Amino acid sequence: MPFCQNCGKEYPEGMPMCGYCGMPTGEQSPEGITPYAQTQVVQPTPQTKAPKKKRTGLILFILILAVILIEPSNAGSGKDKTISGQKASQAGTGSSLSSNSLSSDETYENNQYYDLVNSATIKNIIGDTIVIDKITAKKNTTVEATIIAYASDGSVVNKSSDEITITAGEDNYFYFYFDSDVSDCTMKVSVQFKSNAFLSGDRNAVEMERYDRVDDKLYISVKQVKENIGSFSEFKILFYKGDKIIDADYGFFSSSATGLTEIGSTDVIEMWTDETDYDRIEFIYEP
């Protein structure tokens, strides 16, 4: 029998094409012999994906939960209020910040919701700038502050924002982080006071009983004094050297103080201080 010139396989004499690879042989099919039929490739029928089920029940539950957890603030007007202007100069920053030039009586530093009582600008070892502004609240509300740093030619150099929930009569702080040196920049600030504050827990639900320093660790003993500590309730720490703020840190009770389960329960929060040279701390609870 002859051999296929393409694949080398033998095929019956007189076959017009190879039965293995389909290559034409150039021979005529003798009478009574039917050549191999070419294989027909059938494309699979495309499968239509079933439509995804809409998670209507879950969405509805989340919306209901959000409505339940929203606590109206004591903003009074029922509308969001925005203050904008130029941030006042801070002693020791070396910046070219000018006095606040707002026409309104309310400023970033002093308004009907809080008073700025302490401030610090810190440059870390890699050249980033941290601005910490401590405030004392006058009303219950949520505040969002944004600082934009401008160069002398008016170009934007950097920007940072922070949102905090404040409680009347209690301290809190804004923490602004800039990933560059903005000490020579003009800082323009805008502040929005939100008419509704989203709370995940009771106000003033946890108190600090004491704290202990062990090498680079800080242990804070805390006690639950109100019923509800929300999943997003925070503890915020200010570190002082004398009367000067030198650093700040924060965490969530849901992950750092899981022993707080009811009124009267206690736990210890563990924090790394990274060799911060401080002589006292201030504990702040944010619902």
Q: Where are the domains of the chain?
A: 1-30, 73-198, 206-286
State how far the Cα of 225 lies from the Cα of 117, in Å rounded to an integer: 27
103-114 confidence digits (pLDDT tens): 467 899 999 999
pLDDT value of residue 22:
73
pLDDT value of residue 76:
41
Structure tokens at 99: 């006095």
Contacts for 285 with CB less than 8 Å, ≥ 6 apart: 170, 203, 204, 205, 206, 207, 233, 234, 235, 236
Q: Where are the beta strands (DSSP E) in 44-96?
A: 70-72, 81-86
* Residue numbers in the chain where pLDDT is lower than 50: 32-78, 89-103
196-226 confidence digits (pLDDT tens): 666 778 999 999 999 999 999 999 999 999 9
pLDDT value of residue 87:
66
State how far the Cα of 132 lies from the Cα of 97, in Å rounded to an integer: 16
Structure tokens at 214: 């062990």
pLDDT value of residue 39:
39
For residue 285, the Cα-to-chain-centroid distance in whole angstroms is: 19
In DSSP terms, 131 is beta-bridged to: 121, 176
pLDDT value of residue 197:
61
| Fold for the domain defined by 73-198 | Immunoglobulin-like (2.60.40)
